[in-house]
Amino acid sequence: MSTEKLHLFNFGDPKIKTLHITWFAFFLTFVVWFSHAPMMAIIKEAFDLSTPQIKALLILNVALTIPSRIVIGTLVDKYGPRLVFSTLLMIGGLIAVGFASAQTYEQLAVMRFLSGFIGAGFVIGIRMVSEWFPAKQVGIAEGIYGGWGNFGSAAAAMSLPTIALLYGGDDGWRYAIGMMGVIAFLYGIIYRRIAKDTPKGSTYFKPKKHGGLEVTSKADFYFYLAMNVPMYLALAVLTWKLSPANLGLLNDMASNGIYLILVVLFIVQVRTIHHVNKEHLAQGVPEIQRYKFKQVAVLDIAYFVTFGSELAVVSMLPLFFLDTFEGLSAVQAGLLASGFAFMNLVARPTGGHLSDSIGRRKTLSVLIAGLAVGYFVLSQIDADWWIPLAVIATMACSFFVQAGEGAVFAIVPLVQRRMTGQIAGMAGAYGNVGAVIYLTVLSFVDYSTFFMVIGASAILVFMLVQFMDEPSGKMAEILPDGTVQLIDVE
């Protein structure tokens, strides 16, 4: 494979302009989504929260993103990224202001749960960028989008505690988080005015039906149904964790009600997926329009361990540094922890570039292996470590984590472009499934075991990646008039 050089400062190029305004939109969603993490020590003191209550907030923050990424992916494919991204920014901004205004723990918990909605923003830009860049550049373009966007969590860790201190008093954290919400709301308005879904003269491909992926064989249909089960199980695990038997945030009636809702929703989704696929599977799908669902499944699982572990680690890392090394302030711990997300600026574009250059499967395999080694190293960090060495180990591990994310989404747009939003949504949801599972594990074990569990799961994912086919040749997309257009994936 070869790649054409991107001129990132050529703002006269419409696709470069689109890349920059879109990564900044994603950046703001991550600032808002993780604005609580560096403030957690301050919030804990202000509300006199217990450790279980803090852990509940961490889990709640990633819960709603599981279904919302699926929903947002479908909406993007149907309505286009410009409208959906602008709307999400405005709603997410209002939720951030609501969290900053909370007066009780229950209000904090509800707003933190709702904050997971803005975490679906990532999916939208994946479709937007894939519309503007050719296959030979899509990996690095998606990497730049994801890397600079994910940097939002590091930017929040580095800046918000300082902003809170500048405002001073017990309400400094409220001003810092609320201000980010207002900025996100205003940028949502701006994005709607200046963004465009596709280059001039291009067709925005849409699925024939919405509500589920179109698969191309009966075996893939059942495989697809099975891959939906872990998302509901993750939400069930979250409900159990918040039930009276554990953290007690939900009572028995609420817990049982959620379990029932999850069962009903799964049945409804099965019926919807069947409706989407019944007709064309009965008629048979032409060979040129076929794709293997195992490609989607492997990408889902790879994102489970890459982005899932990043979400979990970014959420707990400031507290990890506070608890491990004596004498650190909340601001210092936030700055040290920001190194993990800071690597997104380099790592995610590098993963996309390597995928474009040396091969999709090979790149993903190497990066997953490096991720496993990195987490095993982090599991050895204790109070005896030199703090700069601990930070270096954290950043080295994060390089493989985020480069792996870049490699995953260098492949996503090459599976089936008209369903890129839905495929990205499912992979993104699996990232949040990973975060819920890993954070649930953390609530039962110490930090060292937590890191070892992630490393061990990465070894299993490495083996599964070997079953993925290297994307090659052309994909067939159906134009609005029913004719078929072939698109290069190399």
Task: Note whether 430 and 372 are within 8 A (CB).
Answer: no
Question: What pLDDT score does 476 carry?
Answer: 52
Q: Where are the domains of the chain?
A: 14-488
- 3-class secondary structure, 482: coil
Q: How many CA atoms lie within 13 A of 271 on its CB side?
A: 6
Partners of residue 478 on adjacent β-strands: 484
- Is the distance from CB of 266 to CB of 234 less than 8 angstroms? no
Q: Of the candidates 367, 375, 372, which has an alpha carbon nearest to the alpha carbon of residue 407?
A: 367
pLDDT surpasses 80 at 487: no
DSSP-assigned beta bridge partners for residue 487: 475
C-beta separation of 81 from 195 below 8 A = yes
- How does DSSP assign 92-155, residue by residue? HHHHHHHHHT--SHHHHHHHHHHHGGGGGHHHHHHHHHHHHS-HHHHHHHHHHHHHHHHHHHHH
Averaged pLDDT for residues 362-381: 96
- State residue 446 phi and psi, 5-degree precision: -85, 175
What pLDDT does residue 2 have? 43
What is 14-488's CATH topology? Growth Hormone; Chain: A; (1.20.1250)
- Give residue for tokens 């690095």: 140
Residue 188 has pLDDT above 80, yes or no: yes
Instruction: Report residue 211 as tokens.
Output: 């509500």
In this prediction, residues 412-422 reach a mean pLDDT of 80
pLDDT digits (tens, 9 = 90+) for 282-302: 887 777 777 889 999 999 999
- Comparing CA positions, the residue from 235, 193, 214, 338 lying closest to residue 281 is 214
**What is the tens place of the pLDDT at every residue in 434-469?**
988 998 898 889 999 999 999 999 999 999 999 998
Q: What does the pLDDT look like over 198-224, one tens digit per residue?
A: 888 777 777 766 677 888 889 999 999
- Identify the DSSP state of 49: -
In DSSP notation, 63-79 reads HTHHHHHHHHHHHHHHH
pLDDT surpasses 90 at 337: no
- How far apart are alpha carbons 130 and 454 in whole angstroms? 30
Mean pLDDT of 373-398: 94
Look over the chain and give the mean of its residue pLDDT values, rounded to a whole number: 86
What are 249's two structure tokens? Answer: 């945030």
Element (H, E) at 82: helix 81-100
- At residue 376 the predicted structure's pLDDT band, cuts being 50, 70 and 90, is very high
